[in-house]
Structure 1
Amino acid sequence: MGIEEGVKVFVFTNALALHGKVLMVDTITLPESKFPGLSKTMLRERPNTLYNFYQDAFGINITGTDERLRVARARR
């Protein structure tokens, strides 16, 4: 999204699950200026995927992503 340094952002965690089992956890950062009025309630109660939510609620179509991966040894 071309987020510049110093810009106010929303940061939240999104867990993807299948049959009640969490498969993936993402930390997502979005610029506040492109998502005015975004709230925890809106994110939790969205009826569909995040990409669909961005389109329906804010008129934003996601056409690409930048994903970064971090690996660490799990503790007991």
Structure 2
Amino acid sequence: MTPARRTAAACYFGAGISTLSAVASLAWHPWLALWGLAGAAFLLWAAASARGAGQRRRARHHRLTHAAASDTALLNPDQRSAA
């Protein structure tokens, strides 16, 4: 599991716990639920941000791997003469 996925999973778990605490706090006073929902919203935003960063990192790695393979094919004279 990549660090971005691990961060996103932890944020999703925290958002679930925060939502459950918001629902439980509705028994005492509705205004108390706002803190739990605000925390859940922040954690969901953080999870989406981590997932996006992980996807951008994987896409960059794929582009760099492809560029390195094409450079190797262009610069290696043994492969060009064999083809």
- Fold in common (TM above 0.5): no
Normalising by structure 2, what TM-score?
0.21
In terms of fraction of residues, the more helix-rich structure is 2
In terms of fraction of residues, the more strand-rich structure is 1
Specify which structure has the bigger relative contact order, considering alpha-carbon pairs within 8 angstroms and separated by 6 or more residues: 2
Task: State the structure with more CA Rg.
Answer: 2
